[in-house]
């Protein structure tokens, strides 16, 4: 019997709850700060639940609080950053989506090719990809920057897209290769003997079977692109072209930091990733399990 005794179960739940609370605390605290008014944010001792919750920080971010300067006012204390938040969010979406799409398409085709055909060099591909996955981005950033500079792509979302392809493609390739390897060939062969074309077989039979792997790779790719800082820092110059990761650091400019606003931005930045993760948790675990352990 694998059921634990009642006492053991209770203890287990208590431990689980405590551990979960501790690990999730940073995000809990960020949310708590983001719904407080500025005076409460700076109040000591800090309290978890605000006396008066307010959505002002979120509203300011989403509506893009007005340009902070007005010539006829003696002093205006807010920073300029909030007005760009929506642009940053959009940029992150666009760039993550585009680079993921590119990486997935390339990897899916390549994985199928490498596992179904014979030609010289096909065995190297997965290990080459794994090696590529381990190259730290600091090595890639500056050479790519110099190329982008020559192509006049610096400060455009395209440069980021290409940068992200370079860090997502290797692992997608590795993951999908592992997946495609596990899909039996018999179904395809049978279909082809029956007269179906290779492309038809690919679309109708193989892709559906590979769907979990493709989804896992897509999720991985989206997460990596959304979270990157280094490429965006070096490639993008003007404040409205930044993605969220670098944009949010702009809240430190000026002479004071609005922590409530910054925590609201942090929360909003994490929400898409959290949603993605919650929905696809099963696929992610399966993908990692396959890629890292079985390989």
Partner 1 sequence: MHVSTSTDWRVADDRIGILFIAPFVVAALVFMVYPVAESVRLAFYQHNPLNPDAAAFVGLDNFRAIFADPLFWQSFRQATIWTGCSILLQTVIGVALALLLHLPLRGISVFRGLLLFPYIVPTVVIALVLQWMLNPDIGVVNWSLRGAGLIDESIYWLASPNMAMLSTIMLNVWKYTPFVTICVLARLQTIPLELYDAAKVDGAGAVRRFLDITLPQLAEVLVVVVIFRTIWTFNKFEEIYLLTKGGPGTSTFNLAIYSFEQSVASLKMGVGAATGVVMMFLLFAGSLVYMRVFRFASEDA
Partner 2 sequence: MSTRTTRRKFLADLAAVSGAAAAALPAWAQQKSTKTGTVRVWGEPGPYAGVAVDAMNEWAKKFAPGLAFKLETLSWDSVYVKLMTDLAARNPAHCISVESPIAYQLMADLLLEPVDDVVQKVGRNRLIDGVKWEYWGAWKGKQYVLPAHHQPHLLVVRMDVVNELGLGNPDTWTWDDLRNAARTISEKKKDMAGISLALGRNLCTDYHFAALLHSAGGRMFDVQNKFEVVFDSPQTVETLEYVKSLQPYMPKAAVSYSFLEVVDSIVTGRAGISFYWGRPYGRAAEENPAVFANLQSFNHARHPKTGRRSNWNDFQGWCIPRPNNQYVEEVKAALVYYQTSQEWLIRYCHSLMPNVSPVYKDVLSAPRLQEHPFFKTKKDTIMNYYVNSLPNSSSTGNELLRGVNPLAGVVHGRSILAQTVQKVVVDNWKAPDAAKWGARELEQVRKDNLRLLQIVT
Site for partner 1 in 52-91 (CB under 8 A): none
Stretch of residues binding partner 1 (CB under 8 A), selected from 79-87, 178-186, 207-215, 273-281: 273-281
Residues 123-162 binding partner 1 (CB under 8 A) are 125, 128-129, 131-132, 134-140, 142-144, 146-147, 162
In whole angstroms, the minimum distance from the beta carbon of 65 to partner 2 comes to 14
Binding site partner of 20, from partner 2, partner 1, none, Cβ cut-off 5-8 A by kind: partner 1
> Could you tell me if 107 and 216 are in contact, meaning their C-beta atoms sit under 8 angstroms apart?
no
# chain residues binding partner 1, by CB under 8 A = 91
In SS3 terms, the chain reads as CCCCCHHHHHHHHHHHHHHHHHHHHHHHHHHHHHCCCHHHHCCCCCCCCCCCCCCHHHHHHHHCCCCCCCCCCCCCCCCCHHHHHHHHHHHHHHHHHHHHHHHHHHHHHHHHHHHHCCCCCCCHHHHHHHHHHHCCHHHHHHHHHHHHHHCCCCCCHHHHHHHHHHHHHHHHHHHHHHHHHCCCCHHHHHHHHCCCCHHHHHHHHHHHHHHHHHHHHHHHHHHHHHHCCHHHHHHCCCHHHCCHHHHHHHHHCCCCCCHHHHHHHHHHHHHHHHHHHHHCHHHHHHHHHHHHHHC
> Could you tell me if 155 and 148 are in contact, meaning their C-beta atoms sit under 8 angstroms apart?
no
Among the listed residues 14, 29, 185, 208, the single contact to partner 1 using CB under 8 A: 29
295 binds partner 1 (CB under 8 A): yes
Binding site partner of 250, from partner 1, partner 2, none, Cβ cut-off 5-8 A by kind: partner 2
In whole angstroms, the minimum distance from the beta carbon of 294 to partner 2 comes to 42
| Between 75 and 119, CB nearer to partner 2 | 75
Among the listed residues 14, 24, 53, 203, the single contact to partner 1 using CB under 8 A: 24
Binding site partner of 69, from partner 2, partner 1, none, Cβ cut-off 5-8 A by kind: partner 2
User: Omega of the bond prior to 20 within 30 degrees of 0, cis?
Assistant: no
239 binds partner 1 (CB under 8 A): no
35 binds partner 1 (CB under 8 A): no
Binding site partner of 116, from partner 2, partner 1, none, Cβ cut-off 5-8 A by kind: partner 1
Residues 260-278: b if buried by 16+ CB within 10 A, e if exposed:
bbbbbbbbbbbebeeebee
Stretch of residues binding partner 1 (CB under 8 A), selected from 52-60, 72-80, 206-214, 255-263: 255-263
Residues 206-235 binding partner 1 (CB under 8 A) are 223, 226-227, 229-230, 234
Residues that bind partner 2 (CB under 8 A): 67-69, 71-77, 79-80, 145-146, 148-149, 152, 154-155, 233-235, 237-239, 249-250, 252-257
Binding site partner of 139, from partner 2, partner 1, none, Cβ cut-off 5-8 A by kind: partner 1
**What is the C-alpha R_g of the chain?**
24
Among the listed residues 72, 195, 238, 256, the single contact to partner 1 using CB under 8 A: 195
């Amino acid at each position: 019997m694998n059921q634990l005794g009642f006492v053991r179960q209770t203890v287990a739940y208590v431990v689980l709850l405590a551990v979960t609370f501790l690990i999730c605390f940073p995000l809990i605290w960020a949310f708590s700060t983001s719904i407080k008014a500025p005076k409460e944010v700076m109040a000591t001792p800090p309290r978890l639940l605000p006396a008066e919750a307010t959505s002002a920080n979120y509203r300011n971010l989403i509506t893009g609080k007005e340009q902070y300067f007005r010539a006829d006012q003696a002093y205006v204390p807010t920073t300029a950053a909030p007005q760009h938040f929506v642009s940053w969010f959009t940029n992150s979406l666009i760039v993550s989506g585009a680079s993921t799409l590119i990486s997935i398409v390339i990897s899916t085709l390549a994985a199928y090719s490498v596992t179904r055909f014979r030609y010289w060099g096909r065995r190297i591909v997965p290990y080459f990809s794994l090696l590529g996955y381990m190259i730290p981005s600091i090595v890639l950033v500056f050479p790519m920057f110099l190329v982008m500079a020559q192509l006049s792509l610096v400060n455009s979302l395209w440069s980021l897209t290409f940068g992200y392809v370079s860090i997502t493609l290797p692992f997608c390739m590795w993951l999908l290769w592992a997946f495609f390897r596990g899909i039996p060939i018999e179904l395809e062969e049978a279909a082809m003997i029956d007269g179906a074309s290779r492309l038809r077989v690919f679309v109708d039979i193989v892709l559906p079977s590979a769907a979990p792997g493709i989804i896992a790779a897509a999720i991985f790719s989206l997460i990596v692109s959304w979270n990157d800082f280094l490429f965006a820092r070096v490639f993008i110059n003007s404040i409205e072209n930044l993605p969220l990761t670098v944009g949010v650091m702009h809240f430190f400019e000026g002479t004071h930091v609005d922590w409530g606003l910054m925590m609201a931005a942090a929360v909003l930045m994490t929400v898409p990733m959290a949603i993605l993760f919650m929905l696809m948790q099963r696929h992610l675990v399966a993908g990692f399990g396959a890629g890292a352990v079985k390989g």
